[in-house]
Homo-oligomer: A and B are copies of this chain.
Amino acid sequence: MREVKFWQIKPEIRILGVDDGPFEPRSKGEVPLVGVVFRGGRWLDGVLKTRIKQDGTDVTKRLIDMVNRSRHRGQLRVLMVDGVTFAGFNVLDAKEVFRKTGLPIIVISRELPDMMNIREAIKHLPRWRDRWRIIKRLGKIYPVRTKSRGVPIYMQLVGIKRADAESVVKLSSTRSLVPEPLRVAHLIATAIVRGESYGKA
């Protein structure tokens, strides 16, 4: 799979950050998936929302549709997601998203993903081998230090070179250890479900 060539990473590069809301008893098996369009780490340009099924297999299609239908589509340059498991173990096929949207993807994790734990957790789900294959083929995990003091966070990449991804992650982590598009997507998705957001950072 080829990589997108970035001639230059502009400080106001349009990033779509995506996160899901938490479960609640009243969620009825669905949670919101929220995308926020950020200019670099500074300005929120737009908000997108769709819904995905708890432990379902629809997140890949829902995200592709949300991106391709958006009026921001033409401006977007890169996608960031908080891990690849949404709404429980609804697994995002990042390579498929790249194929269908043309947008490279940076998968962010605050901790090194514990692959064996994930494997155990998904083994009771329908089509678990498909889910596992998607998670495994994501490939190499790179640390990236967003603040000169502080622990690194981790990224996995589809369609973007490590150096380019590092620039995007660093320039967009203006406020906390994680990129603003993800921090804000998390706040909004949580508020939609709970009525108030609870930050992780």
Q: Please, which residues of chain B bring their CB within 8 A of the CB of A44?
A: 44, 184, 187
Question: Is A188 located at the chain interface by the 8 A CB criterion?
Answer: yes
- B43 and A191 contact, CB distance less than 8 A: no
- A46 and B188 contact, CB distance less than 8 A: no
Binary B-proximity of A20-52 (CB < 8 A = 1, otherwise 0): 000000000000001000000001111111100
Q: Please, which residues of chain B bring their CB within 8 A of the CB of A199?
A: 45-46
Provide the main secondary structure of the chain A interface: mixed
- B175 and A43 contact, CB distance less than 8 A: yes
Q: Please, which residues of chain B bring their CB within 8 A of the CB of A47?
A: 187-188, 190-191, 196-197
> What class of interface size applies to chain A in its complex with B?
20 to 34
Q: Please, which residues of chain B bring their CB within 8 A of the CB of A34?
A: 191
Q: Which listed residue, B49, B188, B195, touches A196 by the CB 8 Å rule?
A: B49
6 closest A-B pairs by CB: A47-B191, A47-B197, A49-B191, A47-B187, A46-B197, A49-B195
Additional pairs, 18, CB under 8 Å, beyond known A44-B44, A46-B191? A34-B191, A44-B184, A44-B187, A45-B199, A46-B187, A46-B199, A47-B188, A47-B196, A47-B197, A48-B191, A48-B195, A49-B191, A49-B192, A49-B196, A66-B195, A69-B196, A70-B196, A71-B196
